[in-house]
């Protein structure tokens, strides 16, 4: 039976690779403040030369937030810890505020880490936070309606923006244990009143866990998350194996699945692999609906089970902006040509159409990025492996290319197949559903799809002795 830590396990930091330093996200609340003290103690004992930066994000949402950030600054100054306060400026959304604040927080933390050459951010999420996350997802019926992946809760590590790791070393520790640490050290903490505002979902769950049976409910929820995490990782490894066995890339923007993919015996893994590929090809941040994906796989399976698969008119469907074209030569996935982005100024490090990350480097001048288009694609489409030329043309037409703004729509800087076009410039594929947040549960399928489409390799995991899969 799972037992949560009633005293912080100081060994939780021992498996983390701090070679390039660490950023600690410290709000001033009890969890993050205890994280900072425990982390500082660990580094002082094991690697005192390690670069440690504490970062406090002032979301600008409460009058007391600035004073709380200053309190963290004083705490850090007294312990010789470098500290920065970053402010989320600009207009705040009227709806979806918690999600927007979370996105801004991670963006600012990542910018601070990158400025210091650090690829690791630590947060103070606890077993209480994990339990709340799992219970919220149960109430939304995510686990039953989808495939149970959401019940794994928060991952011990998440890759942000395909470049910086966010690690949560305290997921097995209760909040009460961390507050004991602070009381023994005679260190106070701030109480965020929004944590009591039951207008929001998480505070409602937190209040429900405060009753006499709350401790057992937390333990049960964390145990459920642990089991779901193992199942999710196993599903990811099986999906990755199917992709390696059955998927290929005959042209830029075009994925081919061997007809045997639909007949593979592991239906759960096949559906998961199909969902990841559909989202990747379509440039969609969320996996397509589970039920619709299952129906699509069943249709593909029924077609491939015929004695003459894909005879006559090819079977076509569209899901998550991806055209699924099944015929004798295989099952082909490509971005549909509707609703492609128009020609627009290229922005460094931006995601284009959810499918390509733009790198402009130091090249001067203004550039436009736009789809290649059918006319240009017809000139460049070459099929040497038996792939129907019409499919290659359709896929290339939706691929992006760069122009100098002064020359558009004249000759472009090369084609969708041969970017980068100038030193320091590139339009690289991304694994769309994991481009922003990649939980460590999903490293196997994400890495496999990255290799398939030519996306950058995953950086090494932040845990000593482990790779990105």
Q: Is 74 exposed, middle or buried (0-12, 13-18, 19+ CB in 10 A)?
A: exposed
At residue 134, what are phi and psi to the nearest 5 degrees? -65, -45
Answer whether residue 435 is part of any domain.
no
Average pLDDT, the chain: 87
**Boundary-marking domain end, from 414, 429, 444:** 429
The reply to whether 308 and 262 lie within a common domain is yes
The reply to whether 306 and 359 lie within a common domain is no
Answer whether residue 443 is part of any domain.
no
**Boundary-marking domain end, from 172, 204, 231:** 231
Q: Please compute the mean of the pLDDT values over residues 263-284 and round it to a whole number.
A: 96
Question: Does residue 84 contact residue 56 with C-beta atoms inside 8 Å?
Answer: yes
User: How many structural domains is the chain composed of?
Assistant: 3
The reply to whether 372 and 313 lie within a common domain is no
The reply to whether 46 and 144 lie within a common domain is yes
Q: Is the pLDDT of residue 144 over 50?
A: no
| Higher-scoring residue by pLDDT: 442, 198 | 442
The reply to whether 216 and 77 lie within a common domain is yes
Give Cβ neighbours of residue 101 (< 8 Å, ≥ 6 apart): 59, 61, 88, 92
Highest mean pLDDT out of 100-104, 357-361, 448-452: 448-452
Answer whether residue 434 is part of any domain.
no
The share of the chain scoring above pLDDT 90, in percent, equals 64
Q: Is 280 exposed, middle or buried (0-12, 13-18, 19+ CB in 10 A)?
A: buried
Tell me what pLDDT residue 302 has. 84
Answer whether residue 468 is part of any domain.
no
**345-350: long-range contacts, CB 8 A cutoff, minimum separation 24:** 345/369, 345/405, 346/402
Answer whether residue 4 is part of any domain.
no
The reply to whether 252 and 358 lie within a common domain is no
The reply to whether 106 and 154 lie within a common domain is yes
CATH of the domain at 87: 3.40.50.620
Answer whether residue 394 is part of any domain.
yes
Q: Which residues on adjacent β-strands are paired with residue 54?
A: 24, 83
Q: Please compute the mean of the pLDDT values over residues 403-419 and round it to a whole number.
A: 62
Q: Is the pLDDT of residue 258 over 60?
A: yes
The reply to whether 263 and 304 lie within a common domain is yes
- Sort strands 367-371 and 400-404 into parallel, antiparallel or unpaired: antiparallel
Strands of 105-227, DSSP E: 120-122, 157-160, 164-167
Planar angle of CA 281, 286, 289, nearest 5 degrees: 95
Q: Is the pLDDT of residue 326 over 90?
A: yes
Tell me what pLDDT residue 405 has. 72
3-state secondary structure of 166: strand
The reply to whether 380 and 312 lie within a common domain is no
Answer whether residue 266 is part of any domain.
yes
Parent domain of 358: 344-429
The reply to whether 362 and 307 lie within a common domain is no
The reply to whether 413 and 390 lie within a common domain is yes
Q: Is the pLDDT of residue 443 over 60?
A: yes
Answer whether residue 302 is part of any domain.
yes
Tell me what pLDDT residue 36 has. 98
The reply to whether 158 and 261 lie within a common domain is no
H or E stretch covering 429: strand 426-429
Q: Is the pLDDT of residue 312 over 50?
A: no
Q: Is the pLDDT of residue 202 over 80?
A: no
């Amino acid at each position: 039976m799972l037992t949560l830590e009633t005293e912080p396990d100081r060994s939780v930091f021992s498996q983390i690779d701090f070679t390039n330093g660490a950023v600690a996200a410290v709000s001033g609340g009890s969890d993050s403040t205890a994280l900072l003290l425990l982390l500082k103690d660990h580094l002082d004992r094991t690697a005192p030369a390690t670069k440690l930066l504490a970062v406090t994000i002032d979301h600008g949402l409460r009058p007391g937030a600035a004073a709380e950030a200053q309190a963290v600054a004083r705490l850090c100054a007294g312990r010789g810890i470098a500290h920065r306060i970053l402010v989320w400026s600009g207009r705040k959304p009227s709806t979806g505020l918690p999600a927007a604040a979370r996105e801004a927080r991670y963006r600012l933390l990542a910018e601070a880490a990158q400025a210091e050459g650090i690829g690791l951010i630590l947060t103070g999420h606890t077993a209480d936070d994990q339990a709340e996350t799992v219970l919220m997802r149960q109430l939304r019926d995510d686990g039953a309606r989808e495939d149970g992946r959401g019940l794994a809760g928060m991952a011990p590590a998440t890759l942000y923006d395909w470049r910086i790791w966010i690690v949560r070393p305290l997921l097995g520790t209760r909040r009460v244990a961390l507050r004991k640490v602070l009381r023994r050290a005679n260190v106070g903490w701030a109480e965020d009143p929004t944590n009591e505002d039951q207008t929001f979902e998480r505070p409602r769950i937190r209040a429900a866990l405060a009753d006499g049976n709350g401790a057992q409910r937390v333990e049960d929820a964390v145990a459920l998350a642990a089991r779901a995490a193992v199942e999710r990782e196993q599903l990811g490894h099986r999906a990755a194996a199917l992709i390696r066995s059955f998927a290929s890339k005959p042209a830029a923007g075009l994925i081919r699945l061997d007809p045997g993919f639909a007949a593979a015996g592991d239906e759960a893994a096949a559906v998961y692999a199909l969902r990841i590929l559909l989202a990747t090809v379509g440039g969609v941040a969320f996996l397509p609906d589970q039920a619709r994906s299952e129906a699509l796989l069943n249709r593909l399976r029924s077609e491939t089970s015929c004695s003459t698969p894909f005879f006559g008119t090819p079977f076509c469907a569209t899901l998550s902006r991806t055209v699924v074209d099944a015929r004798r030569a295989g099952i082909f996935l490509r971005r549909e040509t509707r609703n492609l982005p128009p020609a627009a100024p290229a922005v460094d490090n931006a995601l284009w159409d959810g499918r390509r990350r733009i790198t402009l480097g130091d090249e001067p001048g203004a550039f436009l990025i736009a789809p290649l288009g059918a006319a240009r694609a017809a000139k460049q489409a070459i099929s040497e492996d038996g792939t129907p030329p019409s499919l290659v043309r359709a896929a290339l037409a939706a691929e992006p290319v760069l122009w100098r703004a002064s020359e558009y729509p004249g000759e472009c800087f090369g084609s969708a197949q041969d970017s980068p076009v100038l030193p320091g410039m590139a339009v690289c594929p991304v694994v769309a559903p994991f481009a922003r947040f990649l939980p460590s549960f999903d490293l196997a399928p994400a890495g496999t799809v990255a290799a398939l489409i030519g996306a950058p390799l995953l950086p090494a995991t932040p845990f000593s002795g482990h790779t990105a899969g």
